[in-house]
Amino acid sequence: MTQPPVKLLVVFYSTYGTNLGMAREAAQAAEAAGAQVRLRRAAETAPQSVVDSQEPWKANLQAMQDIPAATPDDMEWADGFVFSTPTQFGGAASQMRAFIDTLGGLWAAGKLAGKTFSAMTSAQNPNGGQETTLQTLYVTAMHWGAILVPPGYTHQHIFASGGNPYGASVTANGQPLSDEDRHTIRHQVARQVELTRKLLS
Amino acid sequence: MTQPPVKLLVVFYSTYGTNLGMAREAAQAAEAAGAQVRLRRAAETAPQSVVDSQEPWKANLQAMQDIPAATPDDMEWADGFVFSTPTQFGGAASQMRAFIDTLGGLWAAGKLAGKTFSAMTSAQNPNGGQETTLQTLYVTAMHWGAILVPPGYTHQHIFASGGNPYGASVTANGQPLSDEDRHTIRHQVARQVELTRKLLS
Amino acid sequence: MTQPPVKLLVVFYSTYGTNLGMAREAAQAAEAAGAQVRLRRAAETAPQSVVDSQEPWKANLQAMQDIPAATPDDMEWADGFVFSTPTQFGGAASQMRAFIDTLGGLWAAGKLAGKTFSAMTSAQNPNGGQETTLQTLYVTAMHWGAILVPPGYTHQHIFASGGNPYGASVTANGQPLSDEDRHTIRHQVARQVELTRKLLS
Amino acid sequence: MTQPPVKLLVVFYSTYGTNLGMAREAAQAAEAAGAQVRLRRAAETAPQSVVDSQEPWKANLQAMQDIPAATPDDMEWADGFVFSTPTQFGGAASQMRAFIDTLGGLWAAGKLAGKTFSAMTSAQNPNGGQETTLQTLYVTAMHWGAILVPPGYTHQHIFASGGNPYGASVTANGQPLSDEDRHTIRHQVARQVELTRKLLS
C-alpha cells in the first residue's frame, strides 16, 4: 500500500536573489525526493517607494511575482517546512517575521505541531549572522512544537560549503550559488523529506 | 564644566499595551536620571483590516497615535537605546524587526557604533520567550557595535520580578505592571543612563 | 512483526537533587511509554574537597552513587537522548559539558547522527536561564545531526508549569517537583519515545 | 591627575594552541593600550591519561605550564575580561565552563558586576560554531551584570578576517594566526581597554 507523498512547504524572503535561488534549489530537491512541494515567498512589507529606490531589489521583486505569497493555509497543508531568509543584523528579515506573526491562530489551534522544520540563510560576511539567524528561526519553530531537522554534519558537502551544522548558509556575493552550496541544500532537504516520511508512516 | 545630558531613545512595539506601559516607565526613569529622552514606537506594519479585526489591538494603536514613529534619525541622535517588544514565538515582533531593517544605511556609515543598548520584553507565559526574545535583540545590537548593558542581578528588584538578568520582562496578563516590574525597569534604565554618561565623558 | 523497543538514554547532572528528580521522572516516563532506558549521570569533575565543603552537594553526590556515569558507549547504544542539567550562568553545568566533550570520537565516526534529542533544566529564578540553557544544549545537539523534539505547547500541562516550549524547566527551591512539573516531564519524554519509534520504523 | 591603568584579565582554554596564540595576542594588545594585564588559562580538567593519549594536546599543555591557572581572585581584581575558547559542539570548552562554575561565590557577593567583557573563539569550520559559541559566553556574562563590548563592525580588519561582529574568531587549521586575525584581535582588545577606562573614570 503506497503512502501519500510528503507535503513540503518552502518559504523564503529574498531581497536581491540569493535566497530565491536557495529556495528554488530546495524545492527541486524536495520534488526529486518524492515530495509534493509548495514554493512560497514571504510577502514584501517595505513601502513600494523604498523598494523602487533600489534597482536590484525592485528587479528581484518583479522576478518573483509568479511565486505566490505564503499564507497560514500553506502552513496547515504542509507536513514540513523549509524557511530561507537573508540575515538582517543576526535575525531573519522582517518580511519573514511578518509572515511568522500571522500564524498565531494556527498555533492556538495546535495546527503547527508535529511538523518538521529546517532553515537556511545568507549573509554578506562568512561570520556575519549565518549561525545566529538560523538559531532565531529554530527557536521560533520550537514554539510551534516542530520537529527540528538541521543537517548537522551528515554529509561531506556540508564541510565543503562552510560547515554550518544548523542549515545551509551562503556568503552572498552577487554570484550564482556554488556547486557546494547546491549540494548542501539538496542534502538538507532530501534528508528532511525522508525523515518527514518516516514520521508520517 | 557641565556635561550635556545623555540622549536616550526608547523604541517599543505594543499590540495590547504591555510594552507601551513598559516603555513609558522606561522613559520616565531615564528623565528622572537626567537624560534627554525620545519615546518612539515602531510603526505598525500589519494591514489596517487585520488590526481592526481585533478590538484591543485597534484600541491600543489609537491610544499610541500621539507617540511619533521611530526613524533612523532618532537612532543617530541618541547616545543609547532601550528596545521593548512583545515576544512573537521567541523573537521580536515583526514591526520592531521592520524598524531595525531600516537601519542599514546608518550602520554602513558607522553611525550606530559605540552607543549603549538594553532590551525589555513581555510574553504570555513566564518561560514563553522572555529570555530568548531578549537574546535576539542583543545579537542584533552586537552587529551595530553597541555596548550592551543588560541589568544582570545588580538590584534586588530583579529577583522579585522573575530574575531575568537579560532585561526587564513581564508576564503579560492584561493587568497593569506590578510594582516589582516597575522597579526593575527603572533600575535597568537608570543604570544605563549612568553608564552612558561615563562613556560620553 | 514486533518492532524492538526504543532505546532512550537519560543523562543528567545534579548538584542538589532537582535534576536527579527530573531525570528519574523522565526515565520512568520513558519506560511507561515502552522504551528501554538507561539513566546515567554526568560524572562529577569538581575536586572532592570542593564537594565536601558543601554538605547538600556532598549528600546528593552520595545519593547518586548507584547511578552509573554516562559514557560514549551509552550514546552509541541509544536511539534518543534526554539531557537534564541545572543552569550555571545561562549555560549547562560544566560537568555536563565535560561529558559532551568526550564525544568527539563518536561524532567523527558519524555515530551520533539521526538520534532524537530533548533537554530539561532548572534554575533558581523563573527567568534565570531556564530558556537560554536549553538553547545551548539544542545548539550542541545540532552539531551531532540530532533530530530535536522540544515539546512546544503540545499539552496543557506545559502552560501550568511555566510554559517553556523548549523543554521542561523547574524553578529550584529545595522542594519536591510539583505535579505540574512531573506531568510536563512525562509528556515531553513520552512524546519523544513515540517520535523516536516512528523514525526507527 | 593620572588615572590608574585599566586592569584586564585574559582567560583562555587551548587544546592545540590556537586560543593560546589568540590570548597572547590579546594580552599584548591590552598592554600596548596601556592596560595592566593578567594572562590566565582555564585549568585542564580532562584526566591526564586522556591528554597524554593525544600528542599535540599533551605538548600544548606542557607549553602552557608557565601560565598561571585562572582563579576567582583574578576575576575580582580585573576591571574587564576577555575570554577565549575553542568551540566544542557550539559551546565553550568544558574546561572554560568549569572555571566559570567556580564564580558563584563572587557573583553572589556582587563582585562580578559592572566589568567589561568580550569573547573570542575558534572552530575547525568557518560556520562550525564561531558565532554560537561566542553567544553562549555573552549570555553568561549577562548573568554577572557585565558590560558587553563585542567589536561589531568597528574596523575594516573585522571584514577581512570573516566579519564576525560578536568577537574575533579563527578557523583553526594548524597554521599560525593570519595577520587579519591578529589585527582583529588587537582592535577588539584595544577598544575594550579604552571603553573600560571611560567607565572607570
Q: Answer whether B90 sits within 8 Å of A140, measured CB to CB.
A: yes
Chains within contact range of chain C (3+ C-beta pairs < 8 Å)? A, B, D
Per-residue confidence (pLDDT) for residue C21, from 0 to 100:
97
Asked if residue D1 has pLDDT above 60, the reply is no
Q: Answer whether C89 sits within 8 Å of D136, measured CB to CB.
A: no
| Angle (deg, nearest 10), helices B179-200 and D179-200 | 110
**Nearest partner of C171 among C124, C118, C113, C102, judged by Cα:** C124
Per-residue confidence (pLDDT) for residue A175, from 0 to 100:
87
Per-residue confidence (pLDDT) for residue B2, from 0 to 100:
75
Asked if residue C1 has pLDDT above 60, the reply is no
CA distance B161 to B184: 7
Q: How far away is chain B from the Cα of D38, in angstroms, using its nearest Cα?
A: 23
Q: Which of A15, A44, A50, A89 to mutate to test the interface with B (most CBs of B within 10 A)?
A: A89
To 10 degrees, the CA torsion angle through A86, B148, C138, D108?
180
Tell me, letter by letter, the H, E, C secondary structure of A5-32. Answer: CCEEEEEECCCCCHHHHHHHHHHHHHHH
**Region of D97 on the Ramachandran plot (φ > 0 left; ψ -120 to 50 alpha; else beta):** alpha
Partners of residue B94 in chain A, C-beta under 8 Å: 45, 94, 97-98, 100-101
Phi and psi angles of residue A12, each rounded to the nearest 5 degrees, phi first: -140, 160
Per-residue confidence (pLDDT) for residue B201, from 0 to 100:
87
Partners of residue C163 in chain B, C-beta under 8 Å: 124-128
Neighbours of D108 (CB within 10 A): 10
Mean pLDDT confidence for C110-118: 98
Per-residue confidence (pLDDT) for residue B125, from 0 to 100:
95
Per-residue confidence (pLDDT) for residue A3, from 0 to 100:
85
Mean pLDDT of all residues belonging to chain B: 96
Q: Are C70 and C43 in contact (CB under 8 A)?
A: yes
Q: Specify the amino acid at residue A100.
A: I
Q: For the residues of B42-104, what is the DSSP string, one character each?
A: PPP-S-HHHHHTSHHHHHHHHHTTTSPBP-HHHHHH-SEEEEEEEEETTEE-HHHHHHHGGGH
Q: How far away is chain C from the Cα of A66, in angstroms, using its nearest Cα?
A: 34
Which positions 101-130 of B are in contact with A (Cβ < 8 Å)? 101, 103, 107, 128-129
Mean pLDDT of all residues belonging to chain C: 96
- Please tell me whether residue B118 adopts helix, strand or coil conformation: strand
Per-residue confidence (pLDDT) for residue A69, from 0 to 100:
98
**Nearest partner of A60 among A82, A31, A93, A38, judged by Cα:** A93
Mean pLDDT confidence for D144-152: 98
pLDDT digits (tens, 9 = 90+) for D76-122: 999 999 999 999 999 999 999 999 999 999 999 999 999 999 999 99
DSSP assigned state of A125: S
Q: Answer whether B131 sits within 8 Å of C127, measured CB to CB.
A: yes
pLDDT digits (tens, 9 = 90+) for C80-101: 999 999 999 999 999 999 999 9
DSSP assigned state of B110: T
Q: Answer whether A45 sits within 8 Å of B140, measured CB to CB.
A: no
CA C73 distance to own-chain centroid: 17
Q: How far away is chain A from the Cα of C145, in angstroms, using its nearest Cα?
A: 4
- The C-alpha angle with vertex C81 and arms to C77 and C86, in degrees rounded to 5, equals 135
CA distance A167 to A99: 20
Q: Specify the amino acid at residue B142.
A: M
Q: Answer whether D113 sits within 8 Å of B146, measured CB to CB.
A: no
Q: How far away is chain C from the Cα of B30, in angstroms, using its nearest Cα?
A: 24
Asked if residue B165 has pLDDT above 70, the reply is yes
- List chain A residues with pLDDT less than 50: none
To 10 degrees, the CA torsion angle through D174, B139, A40, A27?
10
pLDDT digits (tens, 9 = 90+) for D41-55: 999 999 999 999 999
Q: Answer whether C164 sits within 8 Å of B132, measured CB to CB.
A: no
Q: Answer whether A163 sits within 8 Å of D126, measured CB to CB.
A: yes
Q: Are D189 and D82 in contact (CB under 8 A)?
A: yes
Q: Which of C87, C94, C140 to mutate to test the interface with D (most CBs of D within 10 A)?
A: C94
Q: What is the largest CA-CA distance in chain A?
A: 55
Paired residues of B7 in beta bridges: B36
Per-residue confidence (pLDDT) for residue A68, from 0 to 100:
98
Chains within contact range of chain A (3+ C-beta pairs < 8 Å)? B, C, D
Partners of residue B91 in chain A, C-beta under 8 Å: 91-92, 97, 100, 136, 139-140
CA distance C148 to C115: 9
- Please tell me whether residue C83 adopts helix, strand or coil conformation: strand
The answer, as to whether pTM is greater than 0.90, is yes
CB contacts < 8 A (A, B)? 82
CA distance B148 to B33: 19
Residue, of B121 and B4, whose pLDDT is higher: B121
pLDDT digits (tens, 9 = 90+) for C145-188: 999 999 999 999 999 999 999 999 999 988 899 999 999 999 99
Third-level CATH fold of C7-200: Rossmann fold (3.40.50)
Q: Answer whether A127 sits within 8 Å of D159, measured CB to CB.
A: no
Q: Answer whether C148 sits within 8 Å of A139, measured CB to CB.
A: no
Of A88, A107, A132, the CB nearest to B100: A88
- Chain B residue with Cα closest to C165: B128
Of A143, A195, A198, the CB nearest to C165: A143
Phi and psi angles of residue B4, each rounded to the nearest 5 degrees, phi first: -65, 155
| Residue D175: band (very low, low, confident or very high) from pLDDT cuts 50, 70, 90 | confident
Asked if residue B1 has pLDDT above 80, the reply is no
Q: Answer whether C142 sits within 8 Å of D93, measured CB to CB.
A: no
Q: Answer whether C94 sits within 8 Å of D101, measured CB to CB.
A: yes
